[in-house]
Structure 1
Amino acid sequence: METYGKILNIAMPIFLGLVLLEKLYGWFTKKESFKTMDMLSSMTSGYTNIIKDVLGLSISLLTYEYMVKHWAIYKVESTIWVYIIAFIALDFSGYWVHRLSHQINFFWNKHAIHHSSEEFNLACALRQSISTFVNLFTVFLLPAALLGVDGKVIAIVAPLHLFAQFWYHTVYIGNMGFLEKIIVTPAHHRVHHAINPEYLDKNHSQIFIIWDKLFGTFQEELPNVPPVYGITRPVSTWNPIKINFQHLWLLMQDAYRTDSWRDKFRIWFMPTGWRPADVIEKYPIAKIEDPYNFEKYAPKSSLLMQTWIWVQFLFTFALVSYFFANLATIGSPNIFIYGGFLFLIVFSYTELMDRNPYALLYETIKNIVGFLIIYQMGDWFGINAKLPWATVAIASYFIVSNLVTAYFVWFDIRKDSTIKEVVFSEIAQS
Structure 2
Amino acid sequence: MELYGQVLLIAMPIFLVAVLAEMWYGRWRGKDTYRTMDMISSMSSGVTNVTKDVLGLSISLLTYTWMVDHLAVFDIKATIWTYLIAFFVLDFQGYWVHRIAHQINFFWNKHAIHHSSEDFNLACALRQSISSFVNLFTFFLLPAAVLGVPAQVISIVAPLHLFAQFWYHTQHIDRMGFLEKILVTPSHHRVHHAINPEYLDRNHSQIFIFWDKLFGTFQEELRDVPPVYGITRPSNTWNPVKINFQHLWLLAKDAWRTQNTRDKFRIWFMPTGWRPADVADTYPVEKIDDLYGYVKYESKSSGALKVWSWIQFGITLLFLMYFFGHLGTIKVPGIFLYGGFIFLTVYAYTELMDHNPNALGWEILKNAFGSYLLFSTGDWFGLNHYFPQGLYLIAGYFVLSTLVTAWFVRKGITPDNFVTQATKSQSYSTLNTH
Q: TM-score range by the shorter chain?
A: over 0.9
* 1:185 and 2:185 matched: yes
Residue 24 of structure 2 aligns to a residue whose secondary structure is helix
Distance, in Å, in 2 between the alignment partners of 1:34 and 1:93 is 32
Distance, in Å, in 2 between the alignment partners of 1:34 and 1:299 is 15
Distance, in Å, in 2 between the alignment partners of 1:405 and 1:205 is 43
Distance, in Å, in 1 between the alignment partners of 2:55 and 2:415 is 41
1:96 aligned residue: 96
2:203 aligned residue: 203
1:425 aligned residue: none
Report the AA paired with residue 70 of structure 2: H
Distance, in Å, in 2 between the alignment partners of 1:337 and 1:415 is 31
Residue 269 of structure 2 aligns to a residue whose secondary structure is coil
Residue 110 of structure 2 aligns to a residue whose secondary structure is coil
Residue 267 of structure 1 aligns to a residue whose secondary structure is helix
Q: How does 1:260-299 map to 2 (within 5 A)?
A: 260-299=260-299
* 1:226 and 2:226 matched: yes
CA apart distance, 1:391: 1.6
Q: How does 1:267-416 map to 2 (within 5 A)?
A: 267-414=267-414
- Is the Cα–Cα contact under 8 Å of residues 258 and 276 in structure 1 kept in the other structure? yes
Deviations 1:40-64 (A, max 9, x none): 0000000000000000000000110
Report the AA paired with residue 97 of structure 2: V
Greater shift in the superposed pair: 386-395 or 151-160: 386-395
* 1:137 and 2:137 matched: yes
* 1:68 and 2:68 matched: yes
Alignment TM-score, normalising by the size of structure 2: 0.95
Deviations 1:352-390 (A, max 9, x none): 000001101110111111111112121111111111122
Report the AA paired with residue 248 of structure 1: L
1:124 aligned residue: 124
Distance, in Å, in 1 between the alignment partners of 2:84 and 2:34 is 39
- Is the Cα–Cα contact under 8 Å of residues 89 and 141 in structure 2 kept in the other structure? yes
- Is the Cα–Cα contact under 8 Å of residues 64 and 145 in structure 2 kept in the other structure? yes
Deviations 1:142-188 (A, max 9, x none): 11101100110000000000000000000000000000000000000
Deviations 1:296-345 (A, max 9, x none): 00010111100000000000000000000000111101100000110000
CA apart distance, 1:76: 2.9
Alignment TM-score, normalising by the size of structure 1: 0.96
Distance, in Å, in 2 between the alignment partners of 1:192 and 1:173 is 15
CA apart distance, 1:79: 1.4
Greater shift in the superposed pair: 72-81 or 330-339: 72-81
Matched length: 419
CA apart distance, 1:292: 1.3
- Is the Cα–Cα contact under 8 Å of residues 205 and 212 in structure 1 kept in the other structure? yes
1:256 aligned residue: 256
1:11 aligned residue: 11
1:174 aligned residue: 174
Greater shift in the superposed pair: 381-390 or 122-131: 381-390
Deviations 1:206-228 (A, max 9, x none): 00001101100000000100000
Residue 188 of structure 1 aligns to a residue whose secondary structure is helix
Distance, in Å, in 2 between the alignment partners of 1:219 and 1:416 is 41
Distance, in Å, in 2 between the alignment partners of 1:326 and 1:78 is 30
CA apart distance, 1:31: 4.8
Dislocated runs of 4+, deviation >2 Å: 31-34, 75-78, 414-418
1:423 aligned residue: none
CA apart distance, 1:33: 6.7
Cα distance change, pair 351–415 in 1 and its aligned pair in 2 (3 A): closer
CA apart distance, 1:73: 1.1
CA apart distance, 1:78: 2.4
1:84 aligned residue: 84
Report the AA paired with residue 304 of structure 1: A
Query: Which blocks of at least 5 consecutive residues in structure 2 are unaligned?
Result: 421-434
Cα distance change, pair 124–409 in 1 and its aligned pair in 2 (3 A): same
Deviations 1:227-266 (A, max 9, x none): 0000000000000000000000000000000000000000
- Is the Cα–Cα contact under 8 Å of residues 316 and 342 in structure 1 kept in the other structure? yes
Residue 110 of structure 1 aligns to a residue whose secondary structure is helix
Distance, in Å, in 2 between the alignment partners of 1:415 and 1:99 is 37
CA apart distance, 1:32: 2.7
Residue 413 of structure 1 aligns to a residue whose secondary structure is coil
Cα distance change, pair 222–387 in 1 and its aligned pair in 2 (3 A): same
Distance, in Å, in 1 between the alignment partners of 2:64 and 2:220 is 34
Distance, in Å, in 2 between the alignment partners of 1:208 and 1:417 is 47
Greater shift in the superposed pair: 230-239 or 71-80: 71-80
Distance, in Å, in 1 between the alignment partners of 2:259 and 2:415 is 43
2:246 aligned residue: 246
- Is the Cα–Cα contact under 8 Å of residues 27 and 34 in structure 1 kept in the other structure? no
Report the AA paired with residue 256 of structure 1: W
2:45 aligned residue: 45
Distance, in Å, in 1 between the alignment partners of 2:210 and 2:309 is 41
Distance, in Å, in 1 between the alignment partners of 2:223 and 2:29 is 22
* Sequence identity (%): 67
Report the AA paired with residue 303 of structure 2: L
Query: Which blocks of at least 5 consecutive residues in structure 1 are unaligned?
Result: 421-430
Residue 268 of structure 2 aligns to a residue whose secondary structure is coil
Residue 376 of structure 2 aligns to a residue whose secondary structure is helix
Distance, in Å, in 2 between the alignment partners of 1:345 and 1:52 is 14
Report the AA paired with residue 318 of structure 2: A
2:429 aligned residue: none
